A and B are shown apart, each in its own frame.
Chain A
Amino acid sequence: MPYSEKALRHEPAEAACIAEYFQWLGVKIGNNVFIGLDRVSPADLHKPDLLHNIYLGLFKHVMEWVEGFLKKHKRQQAFDDAWKEIPPCPGFSVPKMAYCEITQWQGKEMRNLGRCISAVLASALRNPDSSQYHDFKSALKCVSALVDLSLMAQYRSHTPDTLSYMESYLQTFHRTKDIFLEFRTLKATRT
């Protein structure tokens, strides 16, 4: 059964068009396990996953950007100092190593990081001079918005208000993420 007709459930003409488009892109259309199921659209199957999407996904990326940001503004030492002084708290395990010594992150450690990162970063970026003020402000805003989003995503029940808060956090994140653009390491711009 060709994928383009069965699974996408499009009109044959449209399906042919899609197949052509993919061929033009150089992407092969294959069959996956969901192909034979009725009322299943593969595009709809994605389930949000806090562990891989937020903790091990976005947090990890954001931390790379934050490292670059700290390096640019020479605040690594301040960050490490603040990292060392995190006091213990119930439900939170104090990191045993300096930040730069940690090479591998578990999901649990990333969750811990998410709970303290915005405050530690705020402490590391204290007393900015006038040229740094706006950069620091939007960097902090960006990180905090992502943390807020991840925390609110853990709620067990939601109201329309919390949903609108989540959307606004996401918007803030996207609006302010531009400050970290230069720290995205991609193949094209790596020097």
Chain B
Amino acid sequence: MADQRAKEVHHRTVANRRRQADQEWVERSDRRADLIRRENHFNFIKMYYVTHFASHLRRFGSISMYSTEMGELAHKDQIKDGYRMSNKNDAARQILSQYGRQHALGMRLQTIEAPSKVKGVIVAEDSGMEMPAFSSHSTPRRVLKGRMKNTSTQTKLCATLNIHYSDMMQEILRFTRQTAADDRGLPADPTELGLLPVEGFAQLEIPVANFQETDRFQIHWARCTGTKAFRNGGPRNDSVWVQTGGEANYGDLREQVVARLLALLKIRNILSEAGAIHQLALVCILDPVNRGRFHIASGHIRVGSLRRVNGRDMRIVSIGAVIGQAQVIPSGERQCIVNHRIDLRTFNEIY
């Protein structure tokens, strides 16, 4: 009996102590929150500097011009590389002259190239002869690369890429109907279409003009390896931006939509005399969530998951409609986030 009572008292004191501890903890965290409110601040110099960006832009122009990244890079380009080039005796003098020489040569090359950008031709020095400009100055084209094995007919291609033949055929027919039906188009008859030779490719090179600098191009290599592994990793089927041509409204995405590459192929129309080659891409359009509007909380556009692929969302497009690579970050099982802050061009277009 006494034992029982002792136990009860013990329980009571333990409960009391726990309550007291909880209360103390709450008080302490309240005090801490209070202290944080009172003492923490954002008054540091880097926070303040940013307020001058706009006025600086108005007065002196683009901020990138004043970036110190160049100066920091000079530690390597100018000094370390220069030292490696030298014979290590009296290196300072050699370092100085080496960088000066590189710089002078670079300037000279740019001076030679500059007139050709304007006229499309360059005048060879002293001879007065006009030569065609380097091919690098003309607009680069989209190129299909990396031919895949076992893709010489459409059935083989579909088997290699694990796509239903009927889905593929249906989409090509739809594409044919949309494009002009003349001698250069594809036949509208499924059996004739099935006989045409095809080639499958694993890579699409897309030249994308630099943002605010349209005579320079960045090459996007969009990969589409189907079920095959890419460089010891998993298979890579990149997501790309595809021009829709105003066929549907995708909200804040405007006239482009994110799609995943499923196959890249060339079809040669041997049945017609022109024998035109069609370069096509089979893509799966990722359905924009909330009709392509920005998500209220996170400020991103979300699309359906990369993993779910069904025949309904597949489209055949000409490779000319593929604008460039997109970055899509998975968010849970069913949704992905389109990262429109990946480069300046995308950031400028989607807001």
Could you list which residues of chain A lie within 8 angstroms of chain B, going by C-beta atoms? 46-54, 57-58, 61, 82, 85-92, 107, 114-116, 118-120, 122-123, 125-128, 133, 136-137, 140-141, 144, 147-149, 151-158, 163, 166-167, 170, 177, 181-182, 184, 186, 188-189, 191
Count of interface residues, chain B, beta-carbon cutoff 8 Å: 63
By beta carbon, the residue of chain A nearest B230 is A88
Which A residues are CB-close (under 8 A) to B300? 118-119, 122
- B268-303 residues with Cβ-Cβ distance < 8 A to A are 295-300
Which A residues are CB-close (under 8 A) to B57? 158, 163, 166
Contacts A82-B329, A184-B40; is A92 near B342 (CB within 8 Å)?
yes
Check: B63 CB closer than 8 A to any chain A CB: yes
Which B residues are CB-close (under 8 A) to A51? 67-69, 72
Contact status A87-B42, CB under 8 Å? no
Check: B46 CB closer than 8 A to any chain A CB: yes
Contact status B327-A87, CB under 8 Å? yes
Could you list which residues of chain B lie within 8 angstroms of chain A, going by C-beta atoms? 32-33, 35-37, 39-42, 44, 46-47, 49-54, 56-58, 62-64, 66-69, 72, 208, 211-213, 218-221, 238-239, 295-300, 324-332, 335, 337-339, 341-344, 347
Write the nearest CB–CB distance from B86 to chain A, whole angstroms. Answer: 26
Contact status B62-A155, CB under 8 Å? yes
* 5 closest Cβ pairs, A-B complex: A119-B339, A122-B298, A123-B331, A57-B46, A188-B39
Which B residues are CB-close (under 8 A) to A88? 238
* Set B63, B72, B328: member contacting A107, Cβ < 8 A: B72
Write the nearest CB–CB distance from A109 to chain B, whole angstroms. Answer: 13
Contact status A189-B67, CB under 8 Å? no
Contact status B72-A182, CB under 8 Å? no
Contact status B33-A184, CB under 8 Å? no
Write the nearest CB–CB distance from A174 to chain B, whole angstroms. Answer: 8
Contacts A119-B339, A166-B54; is A49 near B40 (CB within 8 Å)?
no
- Give Cα A162–Cα B72 distance, bound, in whole angstroms: 28
- Give Cα A169–Cα B239 distance, bound, in whole angstroms: 29
Contact status B40-A182, CB under 8 Å? yes
Write the nearest CB–CB distance from A57 to chain B, whole angstroms. Answer: 4
The A-B contact count (CB < 8 A) is: 179
Which A residues are CB-close (under 8 A) to B344? 151, 154-155
Known: A48-B50, A148-B341, A184-B41. 18 other contacts (CB 8 A): A53-B49, A57-B46, A89-B343, A116-B339, A119-B337, A122-B298, A122-B331, A122-B337, A123-B337, A127-B332, A140-B297, A149-B53, A154-B63, A155-B344, A166-B57, A170-B51, A182-B40, A184-B42
Contact status A153-B63, CB under 8 Å? yes
- Give Cα A37–Cα B279 distance, bound, in whole angstroms: 65
Write the nearest CB–CB distance from A18 to chain B, whole angstroms. Answer: 20
* Set B40, B46, B298: member contacting A53, Cβ < 8 A: B46
* 10 cross-chain CB contacts under 8 A: A50-B63, A54-B50, A90-B218, A115-B339, A115-B343, A140-B297, A140-B298, A147-B341, A149-B50, A188-B40
Which B residues are CB-close (under 8 A) to A147? 341
Contact status B67-A151, CB under 8 Å? no
- Give Cα A89–Cα B68 distance, bound, in whole angstroms: 26
Contact status A118-B325, CB under 8 Å? no
* Set B68, B219, B339: member contacting A90, Cβ < 8 A: B219
Contact status B66-A89, CB under 8 Å? no
Which A residues are CB-close (under 8 A) to B67? 49-51
Which A residues are CB-close (under 8 A) to B69? 50-51, 107
Contact status A163-B54, CB under 8 Å? yes
- Give Cα A141–Cα B299 distance, bound, in whole angstroms: 7
Which A residues are CB-close (under 8 A) to B40? 181-182, 184, 186, 188-189
Contact status A85-B330, CB under 8 Å? yes
- Give Cα A58–Cα B44 distance, bound, in whole angstroms: 10
Which A residues are CB-close (under 8 A) to B213? 156
Which A residues are CB-close (under 8 A) to B298? 122, 125, 137, 140, 144
Contact status B337-A158, CB under 8 Å? no
Contacts A46-B49, A154-B64; is A115 near B342 (CB within 8 Å)?
yes
